């Protein structure tokens, strides 16, 4: 399994190209912005980009979809139905963050309308990439249609903005829900097993075991609305 990471966008988002080393079949998880480095990596390693696989619809995860799709028009684009509104509303997303219309271009947030999705993720489906098999798990909470991609044989899970080293995704943006996020993490990520490596949408890698035992949002040390130290 090949995992190449590109830290891009003003949000330091982790875009990844993940490929089956035996077949050269690849996916790009969350292209946050247009990036020559991503294209160069795919082309330079003779990979076949099968799909642009989106964990959720936030701008720092989908902002490069249009550009990448133009370069690789055969690659399907997949997102959960619950985040379609966010995805197709990409040009308006910066405005929800308080950025003024006249600032969009200067800040690099003048997005074109994103390309049409090929289809939607289904919870529990197995998505095959060469000899890799990703289990798709719907994990609402950060956004309504967030999914994670778990490769059970390689023991790797790509969690987008659900879970970070020592933290969890924010739930104060439209569609966010703290209780749902904790349920999603508990039922669909921690349940994978302590030996899974966790690839987050921002920041370093971690493991399920490390987060289960030390993440203050999961151990009960920190609970929203109850004060930090109990
Ligand atoms: Fe996000």
pLDDT at 218 over 70: yes
pLDDT at 229 over 80: no
What pLDDT was estimated at residue 228? 58
227 vs 230: CA distance, rounded Å: 7
23 Cα to the center of ligand 1, angstroms: 31
158 Cα to the center of ligand 1, angstroms: 13
Length of the chain: 230
pLDDT at 174 over 60: yes
List pLDDT tens digits, range 88-122. 999 999 998 888 989 898 888 999 999 999 999 99
What pLDDT was estimated at residue 31? 98
What pLDDT was estimated at residue 93? 94
pLDDT at 223 over 80: no
What is the pLDDT averaged over residues 218-228?
A: 75
What is the pLDDT averaged over residues 167-196?
A: 96
What pLDDT was estimated at residue 117? 98
SS3 220: coil
pLDDT at 230 over 70: no
What is the pLDDT averaged over residues 78-86?
A: 98
Please say whether the beta carbons of 182 and 167 come within 8 A.
no
pTM metric for this prediction: 0.95
Q: Is 214 left (phi over 0), alpha (psi -120 to 50) or beta?
A: alpha
Per-residue pLDDT band at 227 (split at 50, 70, 90)? low
32 Cα to the center of ligand 1, angstroms: 10
63 vs 84: CA distance, rounded Å: 14
List pLDDT tens digits, range 122-173. 999 999 999 999 999 999 999 999 999 999 999 999 999 999 999 999 999 9
What pLDDT was estimated at residue 222? 77
14 vs 3: CA distance, rounded Å: 11
pLDDT at 195 over 60: yes
**Closest of 210, 76, 84 to residue 146, by C-alpha:** 84
CB neighbours of 212 closer than 8 A, spacing ≥ 6? Answer: 190, 194, 218, 219
147 Cα to the center of ligand 1, angstroms: 11
211 Cα to the center of ligand 1, angstroms: 19
């Amino acid at each position: 399994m090949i995992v190449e990471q590109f830290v891009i966008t003003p949000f330091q988002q982790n875009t990844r190209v993940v490929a089956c080393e035996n077949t050269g079949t690849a996916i790009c998880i969350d292209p946050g912005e247009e990036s020559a480095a991503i294209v160069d990596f795919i082309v330079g390693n003779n990979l076949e980009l099968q799909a642009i696989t989106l964990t959720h619809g936030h701008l720092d995860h989908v902002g490069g979809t249009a550009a990448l799709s133009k370069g690789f028009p055969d690659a399907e684009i997949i997102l959960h139905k619950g985040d379609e509104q966010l995805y197709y509303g990409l040009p308006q997303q910066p405005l929800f963050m308080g950025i003024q219309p006249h600032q969009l271009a200067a800040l690099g947030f003048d997005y074109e309308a994103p390309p049409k999705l090929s289809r939607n993720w289904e919870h529990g489906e197995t998505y095959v990439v060469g000899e890799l098999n990703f289990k798709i798990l719907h994990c609402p909470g950060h956004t309504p249609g967030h999914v994670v991609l778990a490769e059970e044989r390689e023991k790797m899970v790509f969690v987008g903005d659900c879970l970070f080293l020592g933290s969890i995704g924010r739930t104060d943006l439209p569609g966010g829900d703290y209780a749902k996020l904790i349920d999603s993490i508990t039922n669909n990520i921690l349940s994978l097993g302590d030996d899974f490596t966790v690839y987050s949408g921002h920041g370093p890698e971690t493991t399920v075991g490390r987060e289960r035992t030390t993440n203050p949002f999961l151990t009960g040390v920190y609970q929203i609305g109850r004060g930090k130290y109990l």
